[in-house]
């Protein structure tokens, strides 16, 4: 049975990649990674050098976690062409860390026979903390027919698909007006206060009595 391949017509926004759990990072793996990449920074392989920089032990290079995310995408997106993989690192990786790599389809669009999928991918450690977050751009065939046309040197299958994305969700639409409901009553006009009655005129004061003279 031929291996499963990824096609544009079979993907939907929000589709999740199967989570991939890696074995704990160990020092042998760090030594092999240093030999494969040519990165012999002593903080990754030399315990004394790492402690001299104030670290509790050797630290794993962040790019090893980026490689795990690349493996996640490669296992899921068979037949696709990886156009871009970018990552941001949130935490340092240490020997003993167990990473779980996850991802989902966040954006898809097609125009003039070229079809693209955008993935959000990330890795969490054994405590559930976010370690790495990345974005991936894949170029894929629309369908088996589209791939066969390419193999035979024929023009691609043209299916224009407007961009669909969950990264920039549109603002919520206003609630529809339900017919049959009474409209809100208009606000009543405020009552105008009546003018105050004029005050009564005060009675004129009586003249004071003259004091009697003593004999």
Q: What is the pLDDT of residues 32-81, one digit of tens each?
A: 999 999 888 999 999 999 999 999 999 999 999 999 999 999 999 999 99
Q: Which domain holds residue 75?
A: 8-24+60-165
* Integer angstrom CA distances of residue 28 from 20, 24, 91, 107: 21, 11, 21, 38
How far from the centroid of its chain's Cα atoms is residue 93's Cα?
A: 22
Regarding beta strands 130-140 and 114-124, do their DSSP bridges make them parallel or antiparallel, or are they unpaired?
antiparallel
* Same domain assignment for residues 31 and 104: no
What is the pLDDT, as a whole number, of residue 196? Answer: 54
| Banded model confidence at residue 124, pLDDT cuts 50, 70, 90 | very high
State pTM to two decimals: 0.73
Over 60: is that where the pLDDT of 200 sits?
Answer: no
Distance CA 84, CA 56 (A): 34
CATH number at residue 15: 3.10.129.10
Do 150 and 105 belong to one domain?
yes
Say yes or no: 17 and 106 in one domain.
yes
pLDDT digits (tens, 9 = 90+) for 19-42: 999 999 999 999 999 999 988 899
């Amino acid at each position: 049975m031929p291996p499963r391949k990824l096609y544009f017509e079979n993907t939907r926004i929000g589709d999740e990649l199967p989570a991939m759990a890696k074995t704990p990072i160990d020092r042998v793996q760090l030594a092999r990674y240093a030999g494969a990449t040519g990165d012999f920074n002593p903080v990754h392989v030399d315990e004394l050098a790492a402690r001299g920089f104030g670290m509790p032990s050797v630290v794993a290079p962040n790019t090893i976690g980026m490689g795990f995310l690349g493996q996640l995408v490669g296992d899921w997106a068979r037949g696709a062409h990886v156009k871009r993989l970018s990552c941001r690192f949130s935490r340092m990786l240490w020997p003993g860390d167990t990473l779980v790599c996850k991802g989902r389809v966040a954006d898809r669009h097609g125009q003039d026979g070229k079809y693209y999928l955008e993935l959000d991918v990330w890795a969490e450690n054994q405590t559930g903390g976010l370690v790495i977050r990345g974005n991936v751009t894949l170029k894929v065939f629309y369908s088996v027919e589209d791939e066969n046309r390419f193999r035979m040197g024929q023009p691609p299958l043209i299916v224009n698909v407007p961009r669909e994305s969950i990264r920039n969700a549109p603002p919520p639409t206003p609630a529809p007006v339900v017919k049959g409901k009474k409209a809100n009553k208009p606000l009543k006009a405020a009552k105008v206060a009546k003018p105050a009655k004029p005050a009564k005129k005060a009675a004129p004061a009586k003249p004071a009595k003259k004091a009697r003279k003593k004999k």
